[in-house]
Structure 1
């Protein structure tokens, strides 16, 4: 009996160690916490959001300081001032708040449209599939920025800009969703739901979209980044923002001519825009890696 005890204890230790392998792998949330790109992107994006929502520490972005015209950064004005005495720190945070609001709204709306259109096209097929994907292909070949610039004149409301950006951002995600939905439509649980009389709307909402969460979450971050860049590009060209309101694009446009002489008019909004895009891309890349893995 003593001779058998040692092998049994060794085998028990082996199985105890084997049982700890699966928890160590963890679910998507735990894997995301171990992905450096996802963590860095999430932390940076959260910091930028908190900074934008802070309201520039109580500073009024519309206030004029006539005693400090186009002054460099100082303890009084951290990012310097414009030619009219407006504080660049307050202006930059105001512009970032607007760009983030439009980018988040347009990116999430585009993902929602793509989710419904792509899942429905993949499930139904036939004429509905051809019409939806034909519309997506048409939007992909059209010059989206130019069309949005034409359809969003100077002074257009931020809601109009959101709708126009979302209308040109959903096609790529919709094609990816359609491909996954076509594969899921042949699975047993979808066929069983249809056989039992479930409506197509119910199948899309209750069976297809929950199984596409990983793809949608990852692509939503990409759409948000594209929307932020698109909004800033339109504002740079003079569309969508009604003065005296500002956006990162308008601040960059105003500071471009003085970038070499008065760099504080150009650098802060340009750096903030770069950080937003970097944070969203890092988060999106990390989520793609994490959510594409098999559980």
Structure 2
């Protein structure tokens, strides 16, 4: 039995077919370390509180003298030893000096000394400590011996002994505090580097021919960054406190210049009878140090991956 002929369908008679979807794999660029840190800081209230207070003090130190007609050396003989008024916002001392103007001037010097000497000491500690721990051998021994030698020298009393030769220059004091405040952190960084030296990524960089400074800069210092950030932040507060202590005892900033330390020293005897002379400079110092500590603590949590904060 013959089969019936079947009609051949042309391509135009076939129903249209939808093309198969093409899936493209997009490479997602990982976020940079700085962006990750910033996202963590955005969820840290301590950073915003401390940073806002620090920013306020910096702006106040820069522009605060524009808000008053008095300079730190001006004397109002008609309003000597007066409490805060509209004319003198923070009151006057026994000589008629405007306390507001003096606090602004003292805050300027304290911030300059802290913001320069603190990070400078941290940079010295990071560089010398990481190099000593990485190179090992005689280089490590020489740097370690130098650090131990400086640690036994009482830096505070040396600065007091050098005071007659420096004439109370706050610039010399700032440099001296920077070059004598790095030894303890250098020991910590040296010990951390000795353990990092045996890690695979450091060995790989060394076998690829990278020099000592390249390995230290690219692999060692980034891995101890959290320690350096903490030290730099605490160093700022420590340098401000050191300057204030020296000025309090009369071995720091000298008249006619003023410092928070000299203002606190002048007002301590009148803390109960004329409290504005002591409370305003002391309160400024305490709030500044507390705010800096809050910023440093927030930065530590954001940089350290084991800090336990919310990940971005």
Instruction: Tell me whether 1:40 sits opposite 2:49 in the alignment.
Output: yes
Q: CA deviation at 1:122?
A: 1.1
Equivalent residue for 1:215, pick from 220, 227, 239: 227
Instruction: Tell me whether 1:85 sits opposite 2:60 in the alignment.
Output: no
Cα distance per residue 1:214-236 (max 9 Å; x no partner): 32122210111110000000111
Equivalent residue for 1:167, pick from 171, 179, 203: 179
Larger Rg over CA atoms = 2
Structure-2 change in CA distance of 1:189 and 1:152 (3 Å): farther
1:1-295 pair list within 5 angstroms: 27-56=36-65, 57-59=67-69, 60-153=71-164, 155-294=167-306
C-alpha RMSD of the superposition:
2.2
8 Å contact 2:121–2:178 — kept in the other structure? yes
TM-score (norm 1): 0.85
Counterparts of 2:260 and 2:178, CA distance in 1: 19
Question: Where does the alignment leave 5 or more consecutive residues of structure 1 unmatched?
Answer: 1-21
Instruction: Answer 1 or 2: which has greater helix percent.
Output: 1
* Bigger shift: residues 105-114 or 151-160: 151-160
Counterparts of 1:161 and 1:267, CA distance in 2: 26
* Bigger shift: residues 141-150 or 115-124: 141-150
8 Å contact 2:247–2:254 — kept in the other structure? no
Q: CA deviation at 1:58?
A: 4.3
8 Å contact 2:46–2:298 — kept in the other structure? yes
Cα distance per residue 1:5-56 (max 9 Å; x no partner): xxxxxxxxxxxxxxxxx9xxx8222212222222221111111111111133
Cα distance per residue 1:212-261 (max 9 Å; x no partner): 32321222101111100000001111113131001100111111122222
Q: CA deviation at 1:157?
A: 2.2
How many equivalent residue pairs?
A: 272
